[in-house]
Structure formats: C-alpha cells, structure tokens
Structure 1
Amino acid sequence: MFERIDFSPGIITYNETHNQNYMHEEDLFQVSYNQDMYVLDLGWYGNEYALMLIEQLNWSNPIWEKRTSEVLELEPIMLECVDYIKEKLLR
C-alpha cells in the first residue's frame, strides 16, 4: 500500500497492508527509526485507522497522531507523518 513512500532511514518492521483481508486488524503497519527511538504505527481501532508516532516506546503518549475512516486518506497522512519524522531526525 505504501510502496511509493521512502521511509528511510526507517526500517519497516511489520506490514499487513498488502493483504486487503487484514485492513481491519489492529496491527497493520509499523516502521522503526533509530532503533525504536521513534515508531510509526498504523492500526485499525473499531471504526477508524490511527496513524501514530511514538517516541522512545511511550505508547500512552504519541507525539503525533491522525485518524481517518477512509483507506484513500491513509497514503497522504502517512506522507505527512514521514515528513514530520524526517524533520525531527534532522534536528
């Protein structure tokens, strides 16, 4: 689903977005940056997708979060999050 996005220097650690049958599973997609200093996480939560950026594995307090119920909105939101991460890494 996100083949056109350059996640570098992140490493994709989990990806179920290629399988449409899994698009309503809680765990869908995850990218690790700097050995989990940042984790980009996409999941399905009841009636919406949540894309979150977690810093230093503090899952209870994401530093960035967007939600949508539309699959077509996931790629632009993912791009926005990746840009945010790359900006943070450059600081």
Structure 2
Amino acid sequence: MGDFQQFLPIVLMFVVVYLFMIRPQMQRQKKEKQFAADLKKGDRVITKSGLHAKIFEISEKNDAVVLETTAGKLTFDRSSISLELSRKLNAPAETVSKAK
C-alpha cells in the first residue's frame, strides 16, 4: 500500500495533464479535420494567413482547394483554411454580436 501512495501524485499529475492539455487538443484536431473534409464549392473561407475567398474548386488528388479572389484564382492546401475565422465569417450577424 505504501508503494502505491508514493506514485499517486505522479499518476494524478498525468491525469490532469491529459484532461486539460492532451484531450482538448485531440478534439480540436478532430474538428479541424472534419471541417476540411466538409468543405464544398462555393463556401466562403478565410485562410490562416488572412486571405478572404470563395472556394472555386476542390482537388481530392492534391488535397488542395482553388480559391477565387478578386485578384484571381489561387491554390491552397486544405489545411491552410482556418476553422475559427471561417466560422466567424459565415456566422449570422446576431451570433457574432452576442459573442462580443
């Protein structure tokens, strides 16, 4: 029983690290993967670098999207599209004002 009590603080520390750091990161990655898979032609998006555009074409072969902007068409990886910024862009005006 004494040996178990020595390791109890270490075990609790690993549980806390898992619950507050590892698990939320895994859930976020899962949401981002689902978001990238659900992209479709015509969606308005914002890239992680801040480019506002509309999806013109999706290339499954290259895992890329062709974005249409006022300057022309650009090709980006699906992973470069920001989940948070794109959701804010497409959210109704009431939701955005309530979030502030």
Pairwise TM-score range, normalised by the shorter structure: under 0.3
- Point out the structure with max Rg over C-alpha: 2
Give the structure-1-normalised TM-score.
0.27
Give the structure-2-normalised TM-score.
0.26
